[in-house]
Amino acid sequence: MRVIEYELLVDEERKPVLAKKNSGFSYADEFLNAPDKIARMFMTGCNAEDLPEEHIWMLALNVKCKVIGMFEVAHGTAYNCMTTPREFFVRACVSGCNWIVVVHNHPSGICTPSSEDDSLTKRLVEAGGLLGIPVVDHVIIGKDSYYSYAEQNEELLKTKQVREEQEE
């Protein structure tokens, strides 16, 4: 499956619009419904485990967990990357997605979440619940490994169970 990479731009009237980026980014699996598939996609497609700076991406998924688009939400330094829930949900609303997945890399290669990662994830889950666009996972890419909040966190796991019930 070819994944379309988008940029969020502003038109003359200051309204958000999506613009396709020229990207050779592709992924063979049809559904991205498991953290290991998502991690593998970013490790092979973006070389996320080898990037020298932290990047945060968002996958916009339809109700069947097919990727509608991929957005680079923020790009930081070797130590951190600052963003807010607004940056994610502007893109989610404009893309018309049903779910989002947050992915970011740790240039250190250690995928253990930081307190800032925990805080952002909590804020994103809360905002997604209010907007009706659930965050189904936040995957952190390390060197040859990943960390999935959905696999470790009960609150996100509930969202994942809802997604799985809708797939049936």
Q: Tell me what percent of the residues of the chain surpass a pLDDT of 70.
A: 73
Please give the residue that has the higher pLDDT: either 50 or 162: 50
Question: What pTM value is reported for the model?
Answer: 0.78
CA-derived radius of gyration, the chain: 15
Q: How confident is the model at residue 2 (pLDDT cuts 50, 70, 90)?
A: very low
Domains defined along the chain, listed by start: 31-167 (3.40.140.10)
The predicted-structure confidence for 86-136, as pLDDT tens digits, reads as follows 999 999 998 899 999 999 999 999 999 999 999 999 999 999 999 999 999
Name the β-bridge partners of 138.
102
| pLDDT score for 164 | 55
CA-based nearest residue to 35, from 126, 134, 157: 157
| Secondary structure class of 129 (helix, strand, coil) | helix
